[in-house]
């Protein structure tokens, strides 16, 4: 599907032509140089294609494309997601390429993202913009007497625009204008920005001023979320000269009186909305809103807006609430066939509303029924059903079960692997009578009535999607049990080597079946993802989507090679029974990653394994590990049976990964990500590799078997010594940790003095934690996150910080980490400080 997304985006591009200048950007200096040349060096009418390698760029200034009059009329492409040579876009995830600016303060305006001027074309895609005062895209207004080039197009799609004050799009003479498949969130207009290049006279946090009368502008398939208005008229403001502006399939969620406001002054035309979701439209918007398919609701049912996850839950009122493909074509809408993640849309008969397409199919696929447990290729067998599905011209088949003989669970004993999956198919074990999906938020009341196991020796796997063939093949697998009795699979139960958008949900892999308590027996690896398999989801936010992994001689899920991209492992139980009461061991790790990019491991339980998660190899990059319980049962138990050997293990050059929050991400006091406790050795061990951010986690009470520290660099059980100027190399560059000098009450907060010596002239974020106990000064615990402070080291590498933190748990024991904002390396936890109720130990330094 990655190829399909990039192709669909490329359809918007005109030919770059012989005079195109392509700039490959890998750092801030390269970005500044490319923009400076595009503005001031490029000849009038030239084409500039600035490609950003997929990484995070910490900005110290503005990003502006606004060439002067003798250098304008340019075609400008600005895109992210590129590989190290900028020859290939390796991801369709906008958040893989981050431009992080500086937010405004009461006395200073922050970073500006401005794309403006008399130019032939603007096209922006696959970038996440963070922390800014203004984000502005505009072709310049052509005054009487000016000679202005006719802008061909203004296109902004597959962008994430996050945590700023104002977003303003102004269209003056563009023949085509598209704002599509974008996420715009946490916009709060707090300053007077009227002196900016393009003055926003609509005065909304997000504004669209459409001042032309050419092709109908398109504002489509976007999610506008968590917008704060202050004194402005509404969250999303619109003013249009064009009578047929297409505002359709958008979600608008805000704290404003009106989610949408239409500015009627200056000749603004009536605007009609089609298939949008909002709570309150502004009074200035005209049209029969409810008759145009709009959804008026207070809750769009995002997966988790609190953590910035604006994907749709399966029961969201935005799911399948849009037009059909035929209806959209007849309405002359500018369509999108890939959502913000690159997922195909529409997935069923109707489009979903918003930037993200769910995988709830309201269509009617061809159905094949399994009526017996035979492994022969005969009528009613699972083998025959897969063969029938593979024989179809198109995919999207549905295999259901109706086995009448025997009792639950019905076991299919394989004599050989099932036929390779060559077309998209949904194998639905929950269709078997007697089966039920889980509805418990913790534990499980699911009942799985179809099990698959080897009936002879030397069977590598049960189900596989082999390498080669069409990449758009999809496997949806749910409601099945996989195990082994007298015989075991030699590799894995499920082996994915190609295809995209696979969903593995609601299954049991080894160990104990939910509800019945019956045993499945053991497995080696449960699931392997390798080769060209991309966008694989194992689990999901809904309790019904949880998978259960236990009694494994290998790992629960193993990702191999550079192919796996943009995967999600969410809400599964590893090493614990479905009822969440008892451990069931895993000899390997819950999730083992030996390569792959831009993926997330979120809200799972990892118990009774050699490690909860391991990341290995230089091609393991940009994995996000968030919200997991590691060494702790789903009910919060820290009995010895739930302990892993290590919590999280990173080795062999894995780099640029996040455990908890990203380096520059803002954290709220008391809000924690992963809960890493009760493990026999380390909480987090970074044996080798750099740029691992470890922020905002609870890491405590580890070292159950051997006294260990919570975050370990290298391969020993003690703190690494700090060194002057921090020139040493090693795991996470052996980033020096802060030294806490004192703490005392300061009104409703507490005040901490911390010293850090590290690399000169670098930006650092210090994160502070408190706990009730400290096993030893050099073995601190981090139970509660209480605050952060940013600082820049001087020419000697020295930082002195006086920070205000919350009083949660005070007085207690304090510790801290230092994270270099440029490189993303987090230190070990600082030696703990037994804080008093008065300043002590150098607080007045």
Percent of the chain with pLDDT over 70: 90
Task: Express each pLDDT in 696-747 by its tens digit.
Answer: 999 999 999 988 889 999 887 788 899 999 999 999 999 999 999 888 887 7
Asked whether 250 and 280 are in contact (CB, 8 A), the reply is no
Q: Which long-range contacts (CB under 8 A, 24 or more apart) does 24-28 make?
A: 24/51, 24/53, 24/82, 24/85, 24/86, 25/50, 25/51, 25/52, 25/53, 25/86, 26/53, 26/55, 26/84, 27/57, 28/57, 28/58, 28/59, 28/60
pLDDT at 829: 95
pLDDT at 77: 95
pLDDT lower than 50: segments of the chain = 1-18, 837-845
Phi, psi of 188 (to 5 degrees): -140, 105
pLDDT at 260: 87
pLDDT at 8: 30
pLDDT at 839: 46
Whole-model pTM: value is 0.71
User: What residue ranges do the domains of the chain occupy?
Assistant: 1-159, 367-644, 731-834
Closest by CA to 625, choosing from 689, 551, 676, is 676
pLDDT at 281: 82
CATH number of 367-644: 2.160.20
713 C-beta neighbours (distance < 10 Å), count: 26
836 C-beta neighbours (distance < 10 Å), count: 14
Tokens of 203: 């005065």
Phi, psi of 429 (to 5 degrees): -65, -25
pLDDT at 394: 66
Report whether the peptide linkage leading into residue 577 is cis, meaning its omega lies within 30 degrees of zero: no
In angstroms, the CA 462 to CA 480 distance is 11
Task: Express each pLDDT in 50-93 by its tens digit.
Answer: 999 999 999 988 999 999 888 888 899 999 999 989 988 888 88
The fold of the 731-834 domain, in CATH, is: Immunoglobulin-like (2.60.40)
Angle at CA 568, nearest 5°, toward 647 and 347? 165
């Amino acid at each position: 599907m990655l190829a399909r997304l990039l192709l669909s985006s490329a359809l918007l591009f005109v030919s770059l032509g012989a005079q195109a200048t392509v700039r490959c950007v890998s750092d801030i200096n390269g970005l500044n140089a490319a923009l400076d040349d595009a503005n001031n060096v490029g000849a009038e009418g030239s084409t500039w294609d600035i490609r950003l390698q997929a990484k995070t760029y910490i900005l110290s200034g503005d990003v502006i494309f606004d060439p002067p009059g003798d250098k304008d009329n340019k075609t400008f492409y600005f895109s992210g997601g590129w590989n190290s040579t900028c020859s290939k876009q390796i991801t369709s995830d906008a958040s893989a390429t981050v431009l992080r600016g500086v937010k405004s303060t009461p006395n200073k305006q922050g970073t500006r993202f401005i794309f403006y001027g008399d130019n032939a074309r603007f096209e922006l895609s696959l970038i996440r913009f963070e922390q800014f005062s203004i984000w502005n895209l505009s072709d310049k207004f052509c005054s009487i007497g000016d000679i202005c080039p006719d802008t061909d197009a203004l296109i902004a799609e597959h962008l994430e625009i996050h945590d700023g004050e104002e977003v303003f799009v102004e269209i003056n003479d563009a023949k085509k204008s598209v704002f599509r498949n974008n996420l715009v969130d946490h916009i709060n207009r707090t300053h007077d920005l009227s002196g900016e290049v393009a003055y926003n006279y609509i005065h909304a946090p997000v504004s669209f001023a459409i001042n032309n009368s050419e092709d109908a502008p398109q504002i489509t398939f976007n999610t506008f979320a968590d917008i704060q208005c202050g004194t402005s008229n509404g969250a999303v403001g619109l003013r249009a000269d064009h009578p047929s502006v297409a505002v359709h399939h958008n979600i608008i969620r805000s704290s404003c009186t009106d989610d949408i406001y239409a500015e009627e002054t200056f000749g603004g035309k009536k605007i009609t909305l089609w298939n949008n979701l909002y709570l309150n439209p502004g009074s200035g918007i005209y049209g029969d809103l409810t008759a145009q398919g709009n959804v008026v609701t207070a809750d769009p049912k995002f997966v988790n807006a609190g953590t910035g996850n604006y994907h749709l839950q399966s029961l969201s009122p935005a799911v399948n609430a849009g037009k059909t493909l035929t209806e959209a074509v007849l309405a002359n809408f500018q369509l999108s066939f890939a959502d913000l993640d690159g997922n195909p849309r529409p997935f069923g008969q109707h489009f979903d509303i918003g930037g993200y397409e769910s995988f709830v199919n309201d269509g009617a696929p061809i159905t094949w029924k399994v009526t017996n447990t035979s492994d022969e290729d005969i009528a009613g067998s699972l083998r025959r059903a897969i063969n029938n599905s593979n024989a179809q011209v198109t995919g999207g088949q549905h295999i259901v079960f109706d086995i009448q003989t025997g009792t639950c669970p019905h076991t299919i004993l394989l004599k050989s692997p099932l036929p390779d999956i060559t077309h998209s198919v949904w194998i639905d074990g929950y269709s078997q009578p007697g089966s039920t999906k889980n509805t418990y938020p913790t534990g499980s009341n699911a009942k799985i009535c179809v099990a698959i196991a080897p009936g002879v020796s030397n069977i590598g796997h049960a189900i596989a999607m082999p390498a080669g063939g069409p990449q758009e093949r999809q496997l949806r697998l749910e409601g099945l049990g996989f195990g082994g009795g007298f015989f075991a699979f030699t590799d894995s139960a499920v082996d994915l080597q190609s295809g995209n958008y696979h969903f593995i949900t609601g299954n049991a892999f080894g160990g104990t079946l939910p509800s019945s308590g019956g045993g499945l027996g053991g497995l080696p690896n449960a699931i392997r993802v390798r080769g060209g398999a991309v966008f694989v989801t194992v689990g999901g936010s809904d309790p019904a989507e949880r998978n259960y992994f236990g009694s494994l001689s290998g790992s629960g899920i193993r990702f191999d090679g550079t192919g796996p991209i943009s995967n999600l492992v969410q809400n599964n139980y590893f090493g614990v029974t479905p009822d969440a009461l008892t451990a069931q061991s895993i000899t390997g790790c819950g999730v083992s990653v030996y390569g792959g990019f831009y993926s997330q491991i979120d809200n799972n339980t990892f118990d009774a394994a050699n490690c909860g998660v391991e990341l290995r190899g230089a091609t393991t990059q940009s994995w996000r590990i968030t919200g997991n319980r590691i060494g702790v049962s789903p009910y919060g138990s820290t009995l010895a049976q739930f302990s892993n050997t290590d919590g999280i293990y990173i080795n062999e050059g894995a780099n640029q990964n996040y455990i908890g929050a990203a380096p520059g991400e803002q954290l709220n006091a008391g809000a924690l990500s992963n809960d890493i406790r009760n493990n026999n050795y380390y909480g987090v061990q970074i044996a080798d590799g750099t740029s691992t951010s470890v922020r905002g986690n609870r890491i405590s009470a580890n070292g159950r078997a051997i006294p260990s520290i919570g975050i370990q660099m290298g391969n020993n059980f003690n703190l690494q010594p700090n060194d002057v100027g921090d020139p040493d190399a090693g795991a996470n560059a052996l980033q020096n940790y802060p030294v806490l000098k004192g703490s005392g009450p300061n009104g409703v907060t507490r005040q901490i003095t911390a010293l850090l010596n590290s690399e000169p002239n670098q930006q650092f974020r210090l994160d502070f934690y408190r706990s009730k106990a400290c096993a030893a000064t050099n073995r601190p615990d981090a139970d509660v996150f209480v605050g952060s402070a940013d600082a820049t080291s001087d020419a000697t590498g020295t930082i002195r910080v006086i920070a205000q933190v919350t009083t949660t748990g005070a007085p207690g024991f304090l510790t801290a980490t230092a994270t270099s904002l440029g490189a993303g390396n987090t230190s070990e936890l600082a030696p703990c400080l037994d804080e008093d109720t008065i300043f002590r130990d150098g607080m007045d330094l």
